[in-house]
Amino acid sequence: MQSSTAKDCFDNFDCCHLQIVSLLVWALVCSAEASICPPACQCLSKNAWTCDNISSVADIWRDSGMVVEELTLNHIKDLNSTSEQSFSDHFGIFVSVRRLKIQQSAISSISASFIDSFPIVETVFLEDNQFLCSEHILSLQRWQSKIDGFNKLQCSSPDGLAGKKVFKALKSIARAITECPRPCRCVVRSMDSQYSIPNLLVNCSQSKLKNTPVSLPKSWVIELDLSHNTIEDATPLFNLPVFRNVTVLNLAHNHIHNIQVPNATGHKNHFKLLNLANNKLTQLANSVIFDTENFSYQPLVMLRNNPWKCDCESVKMFQSIALKQLHIIGDFTHLTCGGDFEGHLISSPAFLQRLCHVPAVAIVTIRCVNILCFIFVGLALIKTAFDLRTMYAVGIFHYFAHLLLPPRK
């Protein structure tokens, strides 16, 4: 029976050809299934991969049409795309993922293209990870409804956000970025609003600004960095209602000639640091230095590297401030004069004495006048004494004595 079948197959070439092709296809399929699983992964089945210690998902990219429904990534270092296009534009293996687990990883950045690479994902597990809460993981908000136990996720860093719930922190970070003036960058340092301690950095340094921002984020204690720009007038900034929330203001390395801080700003109760170093200030306005008697901490004003006008009154004012409100001018010992006295230390007592005393020529003149007056008075006294002696010798005193005194009986 078997020999008859073989004979029939041998006689029928088409039948033999079909069997040979079937065997080749089967061999290719077995070989493909063995090679589909990436070296960094354990493929328990065609639909479930577990990948450990990979730099990025690029390590498991394969030009394959395999359907992977469950993907586990342990100790992954990078969740960003290396191109403007999403991962799924290059490879299709993530398009079918429905369950995604990322575990034991430091999540500091997640790109939008990474999120886009899992279009039909239904459940995301992110427990047992360390989250660096910043604007770099804001894309994670798109998965909030899909993350299992999202309310339990906590920030690991930075220090000011450590222990805070991830999505609550991301909401605050997103709000700060929305309110942030352009082209500045806003960085949330803490979600706690403590007295005088900034929890939001508004960094406008080196932004080629000629004017101060016209708005600032609300409901924050702000450190505002406007250093290294070409600002000439900072007065509009002080007139902003929200400026009372600015406790640290850095205006160093600008072109400010004059500065006035209106009393109506009401930020005296929060003032901590005002940096006016490396500008073009020549005189110090009284409104810049506050009365610190009722302060619970010592505020600082930085004023070095300005061309200060130095005369008796201005130098005396600087030294008086330093004496009464110790260390309020943080760099007082480094303040120098501009103009005719360029390079002279304002803190020098000898320099103040030199400025406030009468010039040497005037002193010599006064001394000469005093000597002449002394000589004149001396000569007058000598002349008076000589005249009195002469009058006594000629008996004039006796004559007057006879007229004034009654005769003796």
Indicate whether 300 belongs to any domain.
no
Q: Is the pLDDT of residue 91 over 90?
A: no
Q: Which residue has the higher pLDDT, 361 or 45?
A: 45
Q: Looking at residue 325, what is its pLDDT?
A: 73
In whole angstroms, what is the distance from residue 84 CA to residue 229 CA? 32
Mean pLDDT of the chain: 78
Indicate whether 9 belongs to any domain.
no
Percent of the chain with pLDDT over 70: 73
Q: Which is it for the CA torsion 196, 200, 203, 204, positive or negative?
A: negative
Percent of the chain with pLDDT over 90: 28
Q: What domain range is 66 assigned to? A: 33-179
In whole angstroms, what is the distance from residue 93 CA to residue 348 CA? 75
Indicate whether 371 belongs to any domain.
yes
Q: What SS3 state is found at 41?
A: strand
| Final residue before a domain boundary, out of 179, 211, 237 | 179
Q: Looking at residue 82, what is its pLDDT?
A: 47
Taking only the tens place, the pLDDT of each residue in 312-343 is: 988 988 888 888 776 788 888 899 999 888 89
Q: Are 278 and 303 in contact (CB under 8 A)?
A: no
Indicate whether 197 belongs to any domain.
no
Total domains in the chain come to 2
Q: Looking at residue 25, what is its pLDDT?
A: 40
Q: Looking at residue 117, what is its pLDDT?
A: 82
Give the CATH number for residue 112: 3.80.10.10
Q: Looking at residue 204, what is its pLDDT?
A: 95
Q: Looking at residue 6, what is its pLDDT?
A: 44
| Final residue before a domain boundary, out of 138, 158, 179 | 179
278: left (phi over 0), alpha (psi -120 to 50) or beta: left
CA torsion angle 291 293 299 301 (round to 10): 30
| Residue 189 in tokens | 């340092």
Which of 173-177, 352-356, 384-388 bottoms out in mean pLDDT, i.e. has the lowest? 384-388
Indicate whether 14 belongs to any domain.
no
Indicate whether 286 belongs to any domain.
no
Taking only the tens place, the pLDDT of each residue in 210-233 is: 999 999 998 888 999 999 999 998
Taking only the tens place, the pLDDT of each residue in 251-266 is: 999 999 888 776 654 5
Position 343: which residue type?
G
Q: Is the pLDDT of residue 52 over 90?
A: no
Indicate whether 84 belongs to any domain.
yes
User: Using alpha carbons only, what angle is made at residue 250 by residues 269 and 244, rounded to the nearest 5 degrees?
Assistant: 30
| Final residue before a domain boundary, out of 151, 179, 207 | 179
Indicate whether 222 belongs to any domain.
no
